[in-house]
Chains A and B, each alone.
Chain A
Amino acid sequence: MLSEKTVYPMSDNPRAQALAEPLPAERLETVEAWGGASASVSYVYRPTTVEALQEILALARRSGRSVGLRGGGNSYGDAAMNSENILLDMRRMNRLLAWDPENGRIQVEPGVTIAQLWQYVLEDGWWPPVVTGTSNTTVAGCAAMNVHGKNAYQAGPIGDHILAFDLLLPSGEIVACSREENSDIFYAAIGGMGLLGIFTALTLQLKRIYSGLLEVETQAQPDLAGMVRYFDENVARSNYIVGWIDAFAGGKALGRGDVHLANYLPPGADPHPSQTLRLDNQHLSPNMFGVLPRSIIWLFMRPLMNNPGTTLINTAKYWAGHLGGSKKYRQPHAAFHFLLDYVPDWKNAYGPGGLIQYQPFIPKETAVDAFAEILRLCQQRGLPNYLSVFKRHRPDDFLLTHGLDGYSLAMDFRVTPARKPRIAALARELDEIVLAANGRFYFAKDSTLRPEIAAAYLGAETIRQFKALKQRCDPEDLLETDLWRRVFP
């Protein structure tokens, strides 16, 4: 009776018109950034087949929504989130398609996890050439973010070990890509954050190993210069190096920490390879110190996750390493690599506000000074990072790469509502230091990058090339994420 025609606000964006087809509310889920510092609501679908993917793309078109891709959901920030739109959780597309144990080539569906991968190939004497600090990441997620491991300076990012992939474009077309075929898409979709198309099958070249163990050495370093010098002296003779930095130490001890390096065992060095290559030799004990179940360790860490508590932990860890001297031992691959899986749910120790990570990459020439400035600034602002990991990198050929001939420092910041504006302000200051040092950033970790900073380090030409490819692969802009809207508006 009172009815008039309902009018919707108009704009020039085609997606701004009234939604043609409402989406089912039962698909709504709250999706968190892995660090837990932000969350948003999306319509989540978990397809198992390429046909189902195509149906969801059609649904997105009908309902005027964009589609975001999500793998293991281990990106610290919003790289795998798509607020108020469709989010594809790819983890159910997790079949192993082909395995050749003779030459170590494997073809997998996008949702196969690193854990699934290494556990499948280990007994044949192979190991993924690049792995993340948690094994819950998916192969497609790793490819989309072009992840690196503790061997980045030698092995490069995971993209350097991907031989080929099939990419489903939003048009419904499936494109085969490799270094030879559609190579422009190959170098852009790897590291392309799932914005050009959907990986439906990926082929990887794995690494031959001759033992289930690694030869590990640890050594304490008294300051940042010592840390960098140790990396320089040892990269040539090591397959993996990773440093941990005590971000609370200042003055002369700024940048002090521990270094762990590891090497594969050459053929013959392991007297019982058939035994160490067995899966049960790799598994972590369910208890720590023999009695404490790992699953509850984070509860004991919780009261220590504040500035005084983590000062204590970092100081104690440094002195334990320093006084213990240099140590050498053999350790299973899984134990060395998947540090983040060592204490399940460790991020809960940060409390309900979660954490964010800030990981700048800085060329070797400017690294010592820039990282010293970064560490000092964090301390001055009263926001020292609770866990800081130092790694060596090398350049690569991918379009949106974070790789360079230098170092990265991954810094964890505890987030609380009161700290949010302070961390955002600190990140702006740190961005300037990184840019001045010709540094780069890494989207898998990012929560704070602004468009002008991304444009400055990537260069206008790189962004133009990527957007031109996106226009070609996805002319309707069907694929989007929160990060894409935030950093590349």
Chain B
Amino acid sequence: MSTPVNRPLEPRKRAIVVGASSGIGAALVRELAQQGYQVAALARRADKLTELCESVNALTHQQAAPRVRAYPHDVTDYTAVPALFQTIVRDLGGLDLIAYVAAVQPQVAPNEYDFAKDAAMIQVNLLGAIAWLNEAAVRFERARDGHIVGVSSIAGDRGRVGAPVYNSSKAGLNSYLESLRNRLTRYGVTVTTIKPGFVQTRLLANATKAFWVISPEEAARQIMQAAAQRRQTVYVPRRWGLVGLIIRHIPSFIFRRLSF
């Protein structure tokens, strides 16, 4: 791909979705394409990614140019990020929105301390986000425009017995996104933190008891709605906001006796 044609009176929006092979990421790619975005979809699993691109492009196929392009990439390959980010933005002809969705949550037993699992969660959920969103932040600051969407989790609100490092990775992501927001709002850039509850994805397989479960498509729809409204922090679906409020205020002397 070289630089695509820009028509002054027919502008197209452009987005990057990191972590697009399944779940919320894949649904977000579909939702963005539906809304007319040119999308760069990134994920480690190339076969899944190609499958997604083909199915979306078949649905939205209008012009010669495909709506969605696949970029196989491992988010822990940090050193590749700066050049790949520039390549993608050039291929898209610009960038309006970036969504970081990539996350892993291996099954962790209540008394398990497995550093390999823990490191993977920090590397994918947090360090990968920093590698990608740092690039986006610099660009958006210079361009005085842009939208960063970080898909975090309600799990980042407190440290719980079941998932110490998953909670830490999402808490770290929340703080990082908040800092980006505080740095970038003055340059006209919006940073939206998404905190989903239970969503029907791979990650849910490791959850013990799930309720209020929504589909990835519904989550993607609500995420795009929040982004369109330029909201800052959004629980998906919104009723989790109340849960988050309660959880954040449970005093430690009670919380440490609970087993969830």
A residues in contact (CB < 8 Å) with B: 1-4, 6-9, 11, 13, 15-16, 18-19, 22-23, 25-26, 28-30, 33, 37-38, 40-41, 65-66, 77-78, 83-85, 356, 415, 420-421, 423-424, 427, 447-448, 480, 482, 485-486, 489
Contact = CB atoms under 8 A, between A and B. Distances in A.
Interface of B: 1-11, 44, 46, 69-74, 76-77, 80, 82-84, 86-87, 89-91, 93-94, 116, 119-120, 123-124, 135, 138-139, 142-145
Given A6-B80, A40-B6, A421-B9, A16 B72 contact: no
A16 B2 contact: yes
A444 B6 CA distance: 16
A83 B11 CA distance: 12
B6 A482 contact: yes
A424 to B, nearest CB: 4
Nearest to A77: B8
Nearest to B119: A1
B6 A78 contact: yes
Given A30-B145, A85-B90, 5 more contacts: A11-B1, A22-B82, A448-B7, A482-B5, A485-B4
Contact of B5 (A18, A65, A447, A486): A486
A489 B63 CA distance: 15
B10 A83 contact: no
A6 B73 contact: yes
A9 B70 CA distance: 7
Contacts of A448: 7-9
A4 B74 contact: yes
Contacts of B91: 9, 16
Nearest to B72: A7
A437 B245 CA distance: 70
Nearest to A85: B3
Nearest to A82: B3
Main secondary structure of the interface of A (DSSP, over half): loop
20 contacts: A2-B124, A6-B73, A6-B80, A7-B72, A8-B71, A9-B71, A9-B91, A18-B83, A18-B87, A22-B86, A25-B138, A37-B9, A66-B2, A78-B8, A84-B89, A420-B10, A424-B10, A448-B8, A448-B9, A489-B5
Contacts of B9: 37-38, 356, 415, 420-421, 423-424, 427, 447-448
Contacts of A486: 5-7
A424 B46 CA distance: 39
A420 B74 CA distance: 40
Nearest to B137: A25
A447 B10 CA distance: 10
B8 A447 contact: yes
A486 B93 CA distance: 13
B199 to A, nearest CB: 23
A6 to B, nearest CB: 4
B74 A2 contact: yes
Contact of A1 (B90, B123, B143): B123
Lowest 3 A-B CB distances belong to which pairs? A28-B142, A38-B8, A447-B8
Most A CB atoms within 10 A — which of B3, B77, B89, B91?
B3
Contacts of B138: 25, 28
B5 A66 contact: no
Contacts of A11: 1
A486 to B, nearest CB: 5
A397 to B, nearest CB: 30
Nearest to A485: B5
B87 A83 contact: no
Nearest to A7: B72
A197 to B, nearest CB: 20
Contacts of B7: 424, 448, 486
B68 to A, nearest CB: 12
A15 B2 contact: yes
Contacts of A33: 8
Contacts of B69: 9
A454 B119 CA distance: 58
A260 B38 CA distance: 49
A23 B4 CA distance: 19
Given A9-B70, A9-B71, A1 B6 contact: no
B90 A9 contact: no
B142 A26 contact: yes
Contact of B11 (A23, A25, A29, A38): A38
A83 to B, nearest CB: 5
Contacts of A9: 1, 69-71, 91
Contacts of A28: 138-139, 142-143
A30 B90 contact: no
A453 to B, nearest CB: 13
A464 B83 CA distance: 36
B122 to A, nearest CB: 11
A356 B8 contact: yes
A6 B74 contact: yes
A168 B163 CA distance: 63
Contacts of A415: 9
Most A CB atoms within 10 A — which of B8, B84, B91, B120?
B8
Contacts of A1: 76, 116, 119-120, 123
A77 B6 CA distance: 11
